[in-house]
Amino acid sequence: MRMTLPAAVNRCIEQLKAEHHAPLCAYVYDLPALERHIKAMREVLPENCELFYAAKANPEARVLKTLAPWVDGFEAASGGELTWLHEQCPDQPLIFGGPGKLDRELDIAMQYCISAFHVESVTELRSLARIARERGVRAPVMLRLNLKLARAPQSRLVMGGKPTPFGLDEEGLASALKIVREESSLELKGLHFHLLSHQLDVDAHLELIRSYFLTFRQLCADHNLQLPVLNVGGGMGIHYQDVTQSFDWARFCRGLKELIDEYGMGATRIRFEIGRFISAACGYYVMQVLDIKSSHGEFFAIGRGGTHHFRTPAAQGHDHPFTVVRGTEPAQITGQSVTLVGQLCTPKDVLARQQPVAQLAIGDLLVFTLAGAYAWNISHQNFLMHEPPRKVFIEG
């Protein structure tokens, strides 16, 4: 698989090769490219929309600080993430989501710049009300809903409209609204939908947003609610095999503006919380080829590193895109297909299977693109106790 790396990334990799004599293994993050991308996303977003970054995708401090001037805040899905975000970007509004929140996490969160608690259950709502009452504050609440929507599309990862640990169904919503009305320590700010991820189809996602708008308006009318915020989650997908087929954000935003006008949603803040689509393209995972072997008629290239550093291909079940940066040794493979594996003693340590390469030799570098989201941070980093990769950040 051959692709052209950005000039800044090429220069960074060449410098790493020159500086280190040991076999190379590193993550490279292109921060200027990340900034250009988030600015472009902001420029086409309708005026009444907000953009939060879902830190679970990549919580590296320099990634967060690059994004901070351009996003409306950050979303945390654990107490640990919440504290980390507060430490790195103390003035940024925070959303606290995820199931199974601990009482001490809810209590600590009230000391931070919390824009909203995304409540996942009636039990959690009661705990939040009690803790807020004890602190003498009002907790800003958004109810995460798991409702069956008439027009809900499908994707590779569906997290709502069926039995899941996430959000409130119709019965849970009725109970939650009763608690909110009875508890002065709670302030209902809005509703939160996040039914799917990995969406590549703009038209299908616009239909999902249409369903969100219809449901939001109907619930507000049925329950006499005046809510300032509707959180529509994220879910915009990356096409790992062909990045040109990834989610078309600009076209989506044009359609979104039409839906906002059609359904009179201009006075409502439409909030997005997006992770993968923001940070995936800024990251590169680099591993040096340690060995090339043939086994039962197939070539394998063993690189320094593996899925314990870069779990994305295993998690997604795909052959991850890569390019070869040639070294100085004569090619051992020419015009053949090769499976790219790591150093782990498991046959599951595969990053790409039987991919064609023009040339490959021991000492060459395999550079995996689209490695800036759900990569290092989701990997089983301590398995076999290999050394971690270096982390290098390209600055502006």
Between CA 277 and CA 25 the distance in angstroms is: 25
Between CA 178 and CA 180 the distance in angstroms is: 6
Between CA 101 and CA 90 the distance in angstroms is: 21
Please enumerate in sequence order all residues whose Cβ is within 8 A of that of 46, keeping only pairs 6 or more positions apart, or say none.
Answer: 253, 256, 257, 260, 270
Three-state DSSP at 240 gives coil
CB-CB contact of 38 with 67 (8 Å): yes
Please enumerate in sequence order all residues whose Cβ is within 8 A of that of 29, keeping only pairs 6 or more positions apart, or say none.
Answer: 60, 62, 63, 282, 283, 284, 372, 391, 392, 393, 394
Three-state DSSP at 153 gives coil
- Note if 345 is an active site residue: yes
The residues facing 270 across adjacent strands are 49, 230
The residues facing 118 across adjacent strands are 142
Dihedral sign from CA coordinates of 38, 44, 48, 49:
negative
C-beta atoms surrounding 184 within 10 Å:
11
Given 49, 89, 220, 345, the catalytic residue: 345
Catalytic (active-site) positions: 345
